[in-house]
Structure 1
C-alpha cells in the first residue's frame, strides 16, 4: 500500500489503552506497584501526532480496556489476568470511572470504544464506527506493544485497513519485548516514528 500520502480526513489515530488506571500515579497499576517509565512517556510522544491529525481534520480514536462490573460492582476478570495482576479489583477500569478514561494529555477523543480483551476489534463496535466515519487508515499507538497493540493491528490488517504502527508511540514492560513485537508487526504494517507520522499527516 502507498504511504507516500494519506487523506487525514480518512485517518484515525487509534490510541490503545492509554488510560488513567494504567498510567496515572493514582491509577490501579501504580497502586499495584506496576509502573514503567517507557509507558509513562507515551502521551507526550503521541500528542504531536494527535494535534497534527486534529488540525488536518483526522480522527482520534480511544480504545479503553474495561473490567465489566457484575453483581455488587465486582468486576469480571479473566483467570489469566487475575493471576498476572492480582491487585485488580472493584472499581478498576470501570466504565465511566476516572481510571477508565483516556489520559488528560490526549483528550478529547472523537470516538471511544470499550474493549474487554487484547484486540480492540474483539466483540466491540470499533469496525462499525470506523466504517461509518469513513476511516480507512489507522495509526496505532499505545500499550502494550505485544498485547493490545499487536492484536489490534493484526485484526485491522485482515479487515483491509491500512495500518501504521508508531514505533516510539508504543511500549511494553520490557524493551526487548517491545522491539521484538515491532519487528513482527513490520510484516503486516508500515512502521514509523511519531515524528515521521506527524510529517506524513502534514504532507511534508
Structure 2
C-alpha cells in the first residue's frame, strides 16, 4: 500500500453517530427492531484504531445525531425523518441522555459534536474545532455509510481536509448499499480497512 499516514498529532478519528440509541438493544432503534449485524459489529472493529490514535497523540471526535427537544419535550423532527422513522419520539437522541452518548467501548472523545442532519459539518462547530485544534487529516467511520458518513466525507473533502474512510469501520442496513457508497466515496477520499489504518498508524510512531 502506497499510503503514508499523516502526522497523528494533526489527525483525528471522526466517529459518525455510533450512539447508544442507534446501536444498543435498549436504544431507540433497538427497541423498534431497526438493527443490522454489520452496524452492531462496528465499535469492536473500530476500537483498536481509536486506541492507537489516542496513544499516538491524535484526536478522537464523536458526532452525535441529535433530536432537539421542543415544548413539552417532544423532539423537533424533520418531516422526511419522521416519515422514514415514525417510531422516534420523546426522549430519543436527547442531548445529555444515555441514548445520545457515544457507545462505551469508544469513549471518551476529545470533542463531541451535536448534529441535526446527515453531514457533521452542517450548522455545527465541527470545522471551527478542527481548525482551532490544528487537525488536517480525518479518518472517518460510523453510520450509515450512504448517509451521515457519505455527507460528512464529501463536506470534509470540499474543505480540503485529508480525508480517509475506514471501509470496514462503516456500515449500512444493506451490504450492497454500503459497498456502493464506498465505491462512490473512493473518488473523494482514501479508502482503507481498519487493519490497514492500524498498521500505518503504528508505523508512523
Q: CA deviation at 1:203?
A: 1.4
Match of 2:144 in 1: 144
C-alpha RMSD of matched pairs (Å): 0.9
Matching of residue 104 in structure 1 with residue 104 in structure 2: yes
- 1:5 shift after superposition: 3.0
Asked if residue 181 in structure 1 is aligned to residue 185 in structure 2, the reply is: no
Paired position in structure 2 for 1:56? 56
Q: Deviations over 1:77-122 (max 9, x none)?
A: 0111111111000000000000000000000000000000000000
Asked if 1:35 corresponds to 2:35, the answer is: yes
Distance in 2 (CA, whole Å) between partners of 1:56 and 1:68 is 35
Sort the Cα spacing of 1:3 and 1:133 in 2 relative to 1 into closer, same or farther, 3 A.
farther
Report the count of equivalent residues: 203
Whether 1:197 aligns to 2:197 is: yes
Residues 135-187 of structure 1 deviation map (CA, whole Å, 9 limit, x = unaligned): 00000000000000000000000000000000000000000000000000000
In the alignment, what sits opposite 1:12? 12
Aligned partner of 2:171 in structure 1 is 171
Structure 1 outlier segments of 4+, above 4 Å: none
Partner secondary structure for residue 118 of structure 1? coil
> CA contact under 8 A between 1:66 and 1:94: conserved in structure 2?
yes
* Partner Cα distance (2:178, 2:138) in 1: 20
- Distance in 2 (CA, whole Å) between partners of 1:161 and 1:202 is 22
* 8 Å contact from structure 1 (residues 15, 63) kept in 2: yes
8 Å CA contact 1:6–1:200 kept in 2: the answer is no
How far does the alpha carbon of each residue in 1:51-70 deviate from its partner, in whole angstroms, 9 at most, with x for none? 10011000000000000000
Following the alignment from structure 2 to structure 1, what is the Cα–Cα distance between the partners of residues 3 and 59? 18
The residue number in structure 2 matching 1:22 is 22
Mapped partners of 2:144, 2:108: distance in 1: 21
Cα offset for 1:3? 3.8
Q: Secondary structure at the match of 1:95?
A: coil
Report how far residue 202 of structure 1 moved: 1.1
Distance 2:108 2:3 in 1: 26
Q: What is the TM-score normalised by the length of structure 2?
A: 0.98
Unmatched 5+ stretches in structure 2: none
Which residue in the other structure is 2:84 paired with?
84
